[in-house]
Structure 1
Protein backbone atom coordinates (compact mmCIF):
# COMPACT_ATOMS: atom_id res chain seq x y z
CA UNK A 1 0.00 0.00 0.00
CA UNK A 2 1.18 3.50 -0.80
CA UNK A 3 2.05 5.93 2.00
CA UNK A 4 1.29 9.64 1.85
CA UNK A 5 2.51 12.68 3.76
CA UNK A 6 5.56 14.91 4.05
CA UNK A 7 5.72 15.32 7.85
CA UNK A 8 3.89 12.14 8.88
CA UNK A 9 3.43 8.96 6.85
CA UNK A 10 0.02 7.36 6.48
CA UNK A 11 -1.99 5.08 4.25
CA UNK A 12 -4.61 7.85 4.26
CA UNK A 13 -4.06 10.66 1.78
CA UNK A 14 -2.46 13.82 3.17
CA UNK A 15 -4.17 17.21 3.05
CA UNK A 16 -2.43 20.55 3.57
CA UNK A 17 -3.74 23.97 4.63
CA UNK A 18 -4.32 25.14 1.05
CA UNK A 19 -6.75 22.25 0.44
CA UNK A 20 -8.40 22.04 3.86
CA UNK A 21 -11.94 23.44 3.88
CA UNK A 22 -15.34 22.73 5.37
CA UNK A 23 -17.06 22.48 1.99
CA UNK A 24 -15.12 19.55 0.53
CA UNK A 25 -14.47 17.58 3.73
CA UNK A 26 -16.22 16.44 6.86
CA UNK A 27 -13.54 17.59 9.28
CA UNK A 28 -13.02 15.73 12.55
CA UNK A 29 -10.84 16.80 15.47
CA UNK A 30 -9.32 13.76 17.20
CA UNK A 31 -7.36 15.60 19.89
CA UNK A 32 -7.84 15.03 23.62
CA UNK A 33 -10.61 16.84 25.48
CA UNK A 34 -8.25 19.33 27.14
CA UNK A 35 -6.72 20.30 23.77
CA UNK A 36 -10.15 20.72 22.18
CA UNK A 37 -11.40 22.76 25.11
CA UNK A 38 -8.57 25.27 24.70
CA UNK A 39 -9.03 25.83 20.94
CA UNK A 40 -11.02 24.18 18.17
CA UNK A 41 -12.38 24.92 14.71
CA UNK A 42 -15.94 26.16 15.07
CA UNK A 43 -18.43 23.47 14.08
CA UNK A 44 -15.91 20.61 13.85
CA UNK A 45 -16.78 17.59 16.04
CA UNK A 46 -14.32 15.89 18.37
CA UNK A 47 -14.23 12.14 17.66
CA UNK A 48 -11.21 10.02 18.54
CA UNK A 49 -12.59 6.50 18.87
CA UNK A 50 -11.75 4.16 15.99
CA UNK A 51 -15.24 2.62 15.81
CA UNK A 52 -16.93 6.04 15.71
CA UNK A 53 -14.64 7.30 12.94
CA UNK A 54 -15.13 4.03 11.05
CA UNK A 55 -18.92 4.40 11.31
CA UNK A 56 -18.73 8.03 10.17
CA UNK A 57 -16.74 6.98 7.09
CA UNK A 58 -19.06 4.06 6.32
CA UNK A 59 -22.20 6.18 6.79
CA UNK A 60 -20.82 8.84 4.40
CA UNK A 61 -19.13 6.88 1.58
CA UNK A 62 -19.46 9.76 -0.88
CA UNK A 63 -17.85 12.29 1.50
CA UNK A 64 -14.18 12.88 2.27
CA UNK A 65 -13.43 12.56 6.00
CA UNK A 66 -10.50 14.76 7.10
CA UNK A 67 -9.09 13.96 10.53
CA UNK A 68 -6.68 16.22 12.37
CA UNK A 69 -4.81 16.36 15.66
CA UNK A 70 -2.18 18.68 17.15
CA UNK A 71 0.82 17.82 14.96
CA UNK A 72 -0.44 15.17 12.54
CA UNK A 73 0.97 12.06 14.22
CA UNK A 74 -2.23 10.72 15.78
CA UNK A 75 -4.26 11.62 12.68
CA UNK A 76 -1.80 9.84 10.36
CA UNK A 77 -1.82 6.70 12.53
CA UNK A 78 -5.63 6.69 12.75
CA UNK A 79 -5.83 7.30 9.01
CA UNK A 80 -3.70 4.22 8.35
CA UNK A 81 -5.82 2.14 10.72
CA UNK A 82 -9.06 3.19 9.01
CA UNK A 83 -7.66 2.56 5.52
CA UNK A 84 -6.63 -0.94 6.65
CA UNK A 85 -10.22 -1.44 7.84
CA UNK A 86 -11.45 -0.65 4.33
CA UNK A 87 -12.28 3.07 4.51
CA UNK A 88 -11.14 4.70 1.29
CA UNK A 89 -12.59 8.14 2.05
CA UNK A 90 -10.19 8.99 4.90
CA UNK A 91 -7.73 11.89 4.71
CA UNK A 92 -5.44 13.36 7.37
CA UNK A 93 -4.12 16.87 7.97
CA UNK A 94 -0.34 16.59 7.65
CA UNK A 95 0.60 19.72 9.58
CA UNK A 96 0.08 21.38 12.95
CA UNK A 97 -3.19 22.64 14.41
CA UNK A 98 -1.63 26.13 14.57
CA UNK A 99 -1.95 26.37 10.77
CA UNK A 100 -5.75 26.42 11.13
CA UNK A 101 -5.67 29.86 12.79
CA UNK A 102 -4.96 31.47 9.41
CA UNK A 103 -7.96 29.89 7.69
CA UNK A 104 -10.76 28.97 10.12
CA UNK A 105 -12.69 30.51 12.98
CA UNK A 106 -11.10 29.14 16.15
CA UNK A 107 -13.22 29.06 19.30
CA UNK A 108 -12.61 28.09 22.91
CA UNK A 109 -10.12 29.42 25.37
CA UNK A 110 -8.40 27.73 28.28
CA UNK A 111 -10.57 29.47 30.91
CA UNK A 112 -13.62 27.76 29.38
CA UNK A 113 -12.26 24.34 30.28
CA UNK A 114 -14.16 22.50 32.97
CA UNK A 115 -11.30 21.48 35.21
CA UNK A 116 -9.97 22.41 38.61
CA UNK A 117 -6.68 24.27 38.27
CA UNK A 118 -5.83 24.17 41.99
Structure 2
Protein backbone atom coordinates (compact mmCIF):
# COMPACT_ATOMS: atom_id res chain seq x y z
CA UNK A 1 0.00 0.00 0.00
CA UNK A 2 1.21 3.48 -0.89
CA UNK A 3 1.84 6.05 1.88
CA UNK A 4 -1.02 8.60 1.99
CA UNK A 5 1.12 11.55 0.86
CA UNK A 6 3.17 9.90 -1.85
CA UNK A 7 3.31 11.44 -5.26
CA UNK A 8 2.09 9.24 -8.07
CA UNK A 9 1.13 9.53 -11.69
CA UNK A 10 -1.99 7.47 -10.92
CA UNK A 11 -5.31 9.31 -11.00
CA UNK A 12 -6.30 7.39 -7.87
CA UNK A 13 -3.51 8.87 -5.74
CA UNK A 14 -4.81 10.49 -2.57
CA UNK A 15 -4.69 14.26 -2.41
CA UNK A 16 -1.80 15.65 -0.38
CA UNK A 17 -2.58 17.18 2.98
CA UNK A 18 -1.30 20.59 1.88
CA UNK A 19 -3.53 23.68 1.91
CA UNK A 20 -5.40 23.93 -1.38
CA UNK A 21 -3.97 27.38 -2.13
CA UNK A 22 -0.49 25.80 -2.16
CA UNK A 23 -1.36 22.89 -4.52
CA UNK A 24 -0.33 23.17 -8.16
CA UNK A 25 -2.63 22.59 -11.13
CA UNK A 26 0.02 20.41 -12.79
CA UNK A 27 2.04 18.98 -9.88
CA UNK A 28 5.45 17.46 -10.46
CA UNK A 29 5.42 13.68 -10.13
CA UNK A 30 8.89 13.28 -8.60
CA UNK A 31 10.02 14.42 -5.14
CA UNK A 32 6.75 16.25 -4.54
CA UNK A 33 5.16 14.66 -1.50
CA UNK A 34 3.01 17.69 -0.73
CA UNK A 35 1.91 18.59 -4.27
CA UNK A 36 3.36 22.08 -4.02
CA UNK A 37 5.95 21.80 -6.81
CA UNK A 38 4.71 22.41 -10.33
CA UNK A 39 5.87 20.64 -13.44
CA UNK A 40 7.86 22.79 -15.82
CA UNK A 41 6.26 24.59 -18.72
CA UNK A 42 8.61 22.68 -21.02
CA UNK A 43 7.26 19.33 -19.77
CA UNK A 44 3.62 20.39 -20.15
CA UNK A 45 4.36 21.84 -23.58
CA UNK A 46 6.13 18.65 -24.76
CA UNK A 47 3.25 16.45 -23.54
CA UNK A 48 0.74 18.77 -25.20
CA UNK A 49 2.68 18.83 -28.48
CA UNK A 50 2.79 15.00 -28.56
CA UNK A 51 -0.97 14.91 -27.98
CA UNK A 52 -1.66 17.49 -30.71
CA UNK A 53 0.49 15.58 -33.22
CA UNK A 54 -1.65 12.50 -32.57
CA UNK A 55 -4.89 14.30 -33.37
CA UNK A 56 -6.51 13.70 -36.76
CA UNK A 57 -6.45 16.52 -39.29
CA UNK A 58 -9.17 19.14 -38.81
CA UNK A 59 -10.41 20.36 -42.17
CA UNK A 60 -11.47 23.99 -42.16
CA UNK A 61 -12.93 26.12 -44.94
CA UNK A 62 -10.16 28.29 -46.36
CA UNK A 63 -10.36 30.93 -49.08
CA UNK A 64 -7.65 30.53 -51.73
CA UNK A 65 -7.08 32.11 -55.14
CA UNK A 66 -7.23 29.79 -58.18
CA UNK A 67 -6.91 31.23 -61.68
CA UNK A 68 -7.51 34.71 -60.29
CA UNK A 69 -10.75 33.68 -58.57
CA UNK A 70 -11.37 33.37 -54.83
CA UNK A 71 -12.63 29.90 -53.97
CA UNK A 72 -13.30 28.20 -50.68
CA UNK A 73 -11.71 24.80 -50.15
CA UNK A 74 -11.28 22.52 -47.15
CA UNK A 75 -7.68 22.45 -45.91
CA UNK A 76 -6.10 20.97 -42.76
CA UNK A 77 -5.91 23.35 -39.81
CA UNK A 78 -2.32 24.27 -38.88
CA UNK A 79 -1.70 22.25 -35.70
CA UNK A 80 1.18 24.57 -34.79
CA UNK A 81 -1.51 27.08 -33.81
CA UNK A 82 -2.69 24.73 -31.04
CA UNK A 83 -0.59 25.51 -27.96
CA UNK A 84 -1.33 25.59 -24.21
CA UNK A 85 -1.52 29.38 -23.84
CA UNK A 86 -4.26 29.54 -26.48
CA UNK A 87 -6.66 27.70 -24.15
CA UNK A 88 -6.53 30.66 -21.78
CA UNK A 89 -8.46 32.74 -24.29
CA UNK A 90 -11.05 30.02 -24.85
CA UNK A 91 -11.64 29.59 -21.13
CA UNK A 92 -11.88 33.35 -20.59
CA UNK A 93 -14.36 33.73 -23.44
CA UNK A 94 -16.57 30.90 -22.19
CA UNK A 95 -16.48 32.28 -18.68
CA UNK A 96 -17.41 35.74 -19.94
CA UNK A 97 -20.32 34.38 -22.01
CA UNK A 98 -21.65 32.47 -19.00
CA UNK A 99 -21.24 35.50 -16.75
CA UNK A 100 -22.96 37.85 -19.21
CA UNK A 101 -25.82 35.40 -19.67
CA UNK A 102 -26.22 35.16 -15.89
CA UNK A 103 -26.18 38.96 -15.51
CA UNK A 104 -28.72 39.31 -18.31
CA UNK A 105 -31.08 36.89 -16.57
CA UNK A 106 -30.52 38.59 -13.24
CA UNK A 107 -31.38 41.96 -14.78
CA UNK A 108 -34.65 40.54 -16.15
CA UNK A 109 -35.57 39.12 -12.74
CA UNK A 110 -34.79 42.42 -11.00
CA UNK A 111 -36.89 44.35 -13.53
CA UNK A 112 -39.77 41.95 -12.95
CA UNK A 113 -39.62 42.37 -9.17
CA UNK A 114 -39.37 46.17 -9.36
CA UNK A 115 -42.55 46.36 -11.42
CA UNK A 116 -44.58 44.44 -8.85
Larger Rg: 2
- TM-score, normalising length: structure 1: 0.21
- TM-score, normalising length: structure 2: 0.21
- Bigger helix share: 2
- Bigger strand share: 1
Higher RCO structure (Cα 8 Å, ≥6 apart): 1
